[in-house]
């Protein structure tokens, strides 16, 4: 199956569309005229009434079989998508090409339904009603997958932003190895998060709690210093922000299996 996506933004782009006659189902509207319409081509077995119709700045999904002998053009009004469904057009345009590739796969439900449509139409006692049901379902699935993809992209963008905040704080703490490990409340306040959210995101990024992760960095740093033979563990403890020398010594020896 072949699926293509186009955004019509300029008048010259959609003028040719409006000058043609399109297949219209007047019932497919949700309170606002001109939200979407469809055109079916290369199918002599399924004629429908045609009439003039205009739509401004649509986005278009073209669903075709592999030989381009049967095609369905689904047009969605940008104003409707933006104002009624609250979908940002630039993000729709971003995810649509990827979705078209997914929908084109033989095992995808949209591809399967498209291939079955023509066979089922020949068996249907009411082609108009059957095709209307197909279009409703197609529109629902297209909109639903667009919304889900945009939400995933937004969540990923939000996660990357929050992740970077935490990484920057961690980098600073590691560089200032002479200072004590900050408390969770300090971390959370610095990145503008609640303590619980900070703990969850930190664990997701580093696989450990903040204390465990930063302690490991301090211990590895201490190990390198100790192996030079220039410092005692007591001296090292003070240099990496520990005031309780005995506590640090105990942790160090346990980490590196030393008595």
Are residues 104 and 3 in contact, defined by beta-carbon separation less than 8 angstroms?
A: yes
Residue 20 has pLDDT above 50, yes or no: no
- Contacts of residue 239, defined as CB under 8 A and 6 or more positions apart, other chains included, come to 177, 178, 225, 231
Q: How many CA atoms lie within 13 A of 27 on its CB side?
A: 7
Digit-coded pLDDT (tens) for 153-207: 888 888 899 999 999 999 999 999 999 999 999 999 999 988 888 998 899 899 9
Are residues 87 and 153 in contact, defined by beta-carbon separation less than 8 angstroms?
A: no
**The pLDDT value given to residue 171:** 94
Delimiting residues of CATH 1.10.10.60 domain(s) in the chain: 177-255
For the chain, give the percent of residues with pLDDT over 70. 78
**The pLDDT value given to residue 236:** 92
Digit-coded pLDDT (tens) for 127-145: 667 777 887 888 889 999 9
Are residues 27 and 36 in contact, defined by beta-carbon separation less than 8 angstroms?
A: no
**The pLDDT value given to residue 214:** 94
- The residue with greater pLDDT, 152 or 71, is 152
**The pLDDT value given to residue 26:** 37
End-to-end CA distance of the chain: 69
- Across 107-133, b (16+ Cβ under 10 Å) vs e yields ebebbeebeebeeeeeeeeeeeebbee
Residue 48 has pLDDT above 70, yes or no: no
Confidence grade of residue 82 (pLDDT, cut at 50, 70, 90): confident
- Computed over every residue of the chain, the mean pLDDT equals 78
DSSP reduced 3-state for 2: strand
CATH topology of domain 177-255: Arc Repressor Mutant, subunit A (1.10.10)
Confidence grade of residue 85 (pLDDT, cut at 50, 70, 90): confident
- Find the range with the poorest average confidence among 23-32, 115-124, 165-174, 216-225: 23-32
């Amino acid at each position: 199956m072949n699926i293509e996506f186009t955004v019509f933004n300029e008048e010259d782009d959609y003028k040719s569309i409006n000058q043609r006659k399109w297949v219209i189902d007047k019932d497919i509207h949700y309170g606002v005229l001109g939200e979407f319409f469809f055109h079916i081509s290369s199918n002599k077995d399924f004629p429908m009434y045609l009439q003039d119709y205009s739509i401004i700045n649509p986005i278009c999904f073209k669903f075709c079989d592999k030989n381009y002998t049967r095609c369905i053009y689904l047009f969605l009004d940008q104003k409707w998508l933006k104002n009624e469904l609250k979908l940002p057009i630039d993000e729709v345009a971003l995810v649509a090409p990827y979705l078209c590739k997914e929908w084109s796969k033989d095992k995808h439900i949209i591809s399967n339904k498209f291939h079955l449509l023509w066979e089922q139409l020949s068996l249907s006692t009411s082609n108009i009603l059957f095709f209307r049901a197909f279009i409703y379902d197609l529109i629902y699935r297209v909109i639903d997958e667009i919304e889900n993809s945009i939400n995933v992209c937004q969540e990923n963008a939000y996660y990357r932003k929050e992740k970077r905040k935490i990484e920057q704080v961690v980098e600073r703490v590691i560089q200032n190895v002479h200072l004590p490990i900050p408390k969770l409340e300090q971390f959370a306040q610095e990145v503008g998060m609640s303590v619980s959210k900070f703990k969850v995101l930190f664990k997701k990024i580093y696989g450990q709690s903040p204390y465990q992760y930063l302690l490991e960095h301090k211990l590895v740093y201490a190990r390198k210093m100790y192996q030079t033979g220039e410092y005692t563990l007591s001296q090292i403890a003070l240099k990496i922000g520990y005031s309780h020398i005995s506590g640090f010594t105990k942790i160090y020896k346990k980490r590196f299996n030393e008595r």
